[in-house]
Structure 1
Amino acid sequence: MAWVEQRGTRWRVRYWAANGKAASVPGSFPTRQAAQDHADQLHSTPTSPTDVAPAPTPTGAITTAGAAPCSVTQPPPTIADWAQVWWQTVDVGDNTEAFYRSLLTRHILPRWGTIPVHQITPADIKIWLNTLTPAYAPATVTSIRKLFAMLMADAVDNGLITTNPVRPQRRGRGRLQPRRERPWADEHQVLTIAHRVFHLASRNQAFLVITAAYTGMRWGELAGLHRDNLDLPNNRLHITASGALHEVNGHLSLGHPKTLASVRTVSLPPFLTQLLHADLTASTRPFVFTTLRGKPLRRSGFQRRLWAPAVNGSRHTSPPWPPIAPGLTFHGLRHSHKTWLIEDGVPEVAQARRLGHAMQNKIDDVYSHVATSVEERLLGHLEARWQRSIEHYNREGGIPGPLRLTD
C-alpha cells in the first residue's frame, strides 16, 4: 500500500518495502494530487505486462529497480543524475547557491558525475580528498566535503543508498593542525587604513572602512545600506529584510541579509553619526556607500584597487606605504569589532544582537535582552576607541585634526 506525505512545500510517495520498513519513491512532487496519482498507480495490479502502462516518473525523481510495485526498471542513478534532482530541493540564498554550483560543477561532477551513487565508498572519498589537499586551501577542501556530504545524505533519505560514504574528518594529520588565528585590526590600524583608502578614492569609501569596524556590519549590509535606513537623529541605522547587496555572477541585486537574526537595528557612537551626517549632507545619492561615480560598490573592485594596497602596503605611493596588517580581509573588520566588544567586557547577548548572530542557547536567544545601560556603555567604549585613535594618529605624525576626512 502506498500513501503520500508532505515534506516542506513538496509531497512524496511512501510505501512498505519487502523488508517491512517504510520507504520512499525517490524524488518529490509539487502538489498532493500529483503524488496521490502516482501512489494510485502503484496500487494497481496488472493482469499482464501490457495491460497497464508503467507508472510515470515523478517530477524531478529518479526511479530505480525495486523502488516500489510497478516502478520502471532503470539503470542505477549516477551522481550527475541524482545531483540534477537534488538541486531542485535546495533552498538557500543567491550567494550560497552560486557557491554550491561552483563546487559542484568544478570539483564534484567532473570526478564523480558518471559513477553510480551506490558504488561510491568512504575509501574512495577519502583518497580523492587527500589528492585535493595539496592543491587547494583547507577551507575549500572542507567546503567540497561538506557539500558532497549533503548531497549523499539526501540520497540516503531518498532510498538511493543505505549509508552516507562522505564521513567527517575524525583522524589523520588534518586534525592535528593548529587552528589559525584570523587577523584583526586595532583602532589605530583601522584609522590608518581609512586614511589610505581616502588617499586612493574618497571620504565616502574611507567612511565605509570606519563604519565596518565600529558596527561589525557585513560587506553586503554596508554596500546595500540605503540612506532611508539611517536614523541619525537617534544615532542608529536599520538593516532591513531587503537591505543587503548581493553580487552573483557579476549581477548586483538587493536581498535578504545572511540570516534572520541579521535583520536588526545597530546603534552608532556619536562620532560615527557626525561623519555619516556630514558625508550624506553633501550628496543626494540613494545609497550610503558608493563608488566615486555614485554606483553600487562591487566587492572585487574595492578589494583589488583599495583594500589590498591600503592593508598590505604599496610601493607606488610617496612615500611608500609599509604593510599594516597583512592577511587582514574586509570581513576581518567584523572580527575586529567582535574582538573589541570582548575586550571591553560587553555581554554576549549584546554582542550577538549587534552582530546579527543567533545565540547558541535557544532559551537565551529568546529571553535575553540588552538593557539601555549596557548599550550606552558599549557606545561609550567605541567612542573612547575613536578618540584614542585620533590622538595616536596625530602623535605619530598623521594628518592633523580629528580625521581630515570631514574637512
Structure 2
Amino acid sequence: MATFRKRGKYWEYRVKYTNAAGKQLVASHGGYRLKSSAQDAAEAVEDDLKRGGDPSKAGTLFLDYWDQWIDAYKSGDKSLNTEYRYTLLRKHLKSRFDGRELGSIRPIEWQRFLNDFAAGKDRKKETTRKGPRERSKDIVSKMNSYVRSMVKAAINDRLLFSDFTFGAKVGGIRSGSKVKVLDQDDFAQVKSKAAEKASYRSIGALAVYLGAMTGMRVSEVLALTWDDIDTINNVIHVTRSWDHQYGTGFKPTKTEASIRDIEVSPAVIKLLERIHQEQMAAYLRTGYRDPDQMLMRNQWHTVITDTACNKALAILQSDAGIPKEKQITFHGLRHSHVSYLISQGIDIYYISKRLGHSDITITMRVYGHLLDSQKKKEALKATAAMDRL
C-alpha cells in the first residue's frame, strides 16, 4: 500500500514491499508538484511489483546493462571483428542514451534513434552532396537485433516489462542486389593464368587458383594445411579459417556449416602435389620446419595476407586483359565460382553446401538473380516435358 507526504512544495510516495529474498524494503521517490503525479508513479511501481518486478533495480542504466549483457552473453565466443563491432555500437548508443535508465526508453525514442543512425546524422565528417553518408540496412538491422536481444534478457531479469524495440522499422541503404562476377570467358582466363603461375615462389597465384576452383573464402584458403588435402579422394577439408585482419592465427570458421568437404578435380590435386614438393625441397635447403604444415606459407616463411591475395588477383586479371572497371576482388572469385556452376545447371542445394552456407535461403538471397536465366531454361524443359505426356 502506497503512502504519500508533502515535503515543502513537492510530493513524495513510499511503497513498502518484500523482495524475492524475503527482505522488507521501501521504494520511494519525490519531486512531484502534484499529488496525483506521485499517485500515478506509485501505481506504476505497484503494477511492476505485481508482475514480479524489483523496484531496487529500476534505476539500472541502459549502458550499464548493455555492458553486463555483452560480458555475459557475447564476450569471448565471437570473432575479433564482431567484438569490435560491439564496441562501435556502444559508442553510438552512448551518444543518445548516456545516463538514461533502461526503463525510461520509449519505443518512439528507439525508432527515432534508428532513423538517425540509418541516416548517418552523426557522420559530420563523412558527407556527400546529398548530406551525411547513410548507413547500410545491414548494420542498422544488426544494431536493432543486438539491442532487441538485450531487451529480452532485461525482461527475463524483471528489469523491463515491455520491449521498446518491438515493431521498430529498420532503414538504411540496401546492399546491391547483384554481386560482381567475371563473365565465363574472363573467369576461365584468370583460372588458367593462376594455374600456370602458381608455385612455391608465387603462393598468391595458388590462392587465386584455389579460390576460383572451390569458392572458398580467403580466410579459409589461408588456413589450409597439407593435412586438409585428401589426395586419394580428391577432397579439400575446410575445418577452420585464418585471422588475416588481426594476425592472431587460426580461428573458427564463420559458421558451423562452413566446416565442410569440397570435392575438386584431379588437376587441382596434381597442382597442389607439385607445389608441396617445391615447398618441401625449399625447406630442406634452408633447414626450415613448419609445425603447422601451411599451404600458404611463402618463401619468407610467413603466411601470405589477404592483401597479397587481392594483389595477385589484380595482376592476373590485368594479364588476362580484363579492364579495371570489370575486375573483381578475391571475394568476387567466390561469386564467379557460383555463377559458373549455376550456368552449368548445378543444383543450388549442392552449391549451398559447397559454399558452407547455413541454409539454402542464404544462397538464394545472395545469388537468386543469377538463377533467373536458369529458371527460364528449366521452364522450357518443364513445358516440353508436359507436352510429351
* TM-score normalised by the chain length of structure 2: 0.62
TM superposition shift of 1:73? 2.3
> Would the aligned equivalents of 1:185 and 1:336 in 2 still touch at CA under 8 Å?
yes
Aligned to 1:346: 346
Change (3 A) 1:70 1:341: closer
> Would the aligned equivalents of 1:207 and 1:275 in 2 still touch at CA under 8 Å?
no
- 1:124 lines up with 2:112 in the alignment: yes
* Greater displacement, 156-165 / 205-214: 156-165
TM superposition shift of 1:257? 1.1
Change (3 A) 1:218 1:169: same
Structure 2: runs of 5 or more not aligned: 1-17, 27-44, 122-131, 281-289, 362-389
Question: 1: distance between equivalents of 2:176 and 2:224?
Answer: 34
Counterpart selection for 1:296 from 303, 310, 314: 303
Alignment of 1:135-150 (within 5 A): 135-138=133-136, 139-150=138-149
Aligned to 2:153: 154
Aligned to 2:241: 244
Question: 2: distance between equivalents of 1:251 and 1:219?
Answer: 14
Change (3 A) 1:191 1:98: farther
Name the aligned partner's letter for residue 335 of structure 1.
H
> Would the aligned equivalents of 1:107 and 1:144 in 2 still touch at CA under 8 Å?
no
Alignment of 1:167-182 (within 5 A): 167-169=167-169, 179-182=176-179
> Would the aligned equivalents of 2:212 and 2:334 in 1 still touch at CA under 8 Å?
yes
3-state DSSP of counterpart to 2:279: coil
Deviation digits for residues 238-281 of structure 1 (CA, Å, limit 9, x no counterpart)? 122xx321346x23232321222222211111221222111111
Aligned to 1:85: 68
Change (3 A) 1:320 1:149: same
3-state DSSP of counterpart to 2:56: coil
Counterpart selection for 1:44 from 22, 28, 34: 22
TM superposition shift of 1:332? 2.0
What is the number of residues matched between the two proteins?
294
Name the aligned partner's letter for residue 359 of structure 1.
D
Deviation digits for residues 339-393 of structure 1 (CA, Å, limit 9, x no counterpart)? 22221111233223222223359xxxxxxxxxxxxxxxxxxxxxxxxxxxxxxxx
Change (3 A) 1:297 1:73: same
Change (3 A) 1:261 1:136: same
> Would the aligned equivalents of 1:215 and 1:266 in 2 still touch at CA under 8 Å?
yes
Aligned to 2:59: 76
Question: 2: distance between equivalents of 1:324 and 1:45?
Answer: 71
Aligned to 1:368: none
- 1:325 lines up with 2:321 in the alignment: no
Deviation digits for residues 283-305 of structure 1 (CA, Å, limit 9, x no counterpart)? 135111234423123335544x4
Question: 1: distance between equivalents of 2:144 and 2:52?
Answer: 35
Aligned to 1:218: 217
Aligned Cα root-mean-square deviation (Å): 4.0
Aligned to 2:359: 359
* Greater displacement, 220-229 / 184-193: 184-193
Change (3 A) 1:111 1:293: farther
Question: 1: distance between equivalents of 2:23 and 2:156?
Answer: 27
Q: Which has the larger radius of gyration?
A: 2
Aligned to 1:268: 264
Change (3 A) 1:163 1:101: closer
> Would the aligned equivalents of 1:220 and 1:244 in 2 still touch at CA under 8 Å?
yes
- 1:259 lines up with 2:272 in the alignment: no
Change (3 A) 1:257 1:164: same
Change (3 A) 1:149 1:230: same
TM superposition shift of 1:206? 0.7
> Would the aligned equivalents of 1:220 and 1:245 in 2 still touch at CA under 8 Å?
yes
3-state DSSP of counterpart to 1:144: helix
TM superposition shift of 1:187? 4.7
Question: 2: distance between equivalents of 1:229 and 1:75?
Answer: 54
Question: 1: distance between equivalents of 2:214 and 2:321?
Answer: 30
Name the aligned partner's letter for residue 100 of structure 2.
I
Question: 2: distance between equivalents of 1:306 and 1:237?
Answer: 22
Question: 1: distance between equivalents of 2:63 and 2:308?
Answer: 35
> Would the aligned equivalents of 1:205 and 1:290 in 2 still touch at CA under 8 Å?
no
TM superposition shift of 1:182? 1.0
Aligned to 1:375: none
Aligned to 2:96: 111
3-state DSSP of counterpart to 1:265: strand
* Greater displacement, 159-168 / 83-92: 159-168
- 1:94 lines up with 2:92 in the alignment: no
Question: 2: distance between equivalents of 1:231 and 1:255?
Answer: 22
Question: 2: distance between equivalents of 1:308 and 1:153?
Answer: 47
* Greater displacement, 151-160 / 273-282: 151-160
> Would the aligned equivalents of 2:219 and 2:241 in 1 still touch at CA under 8 Å?
yes
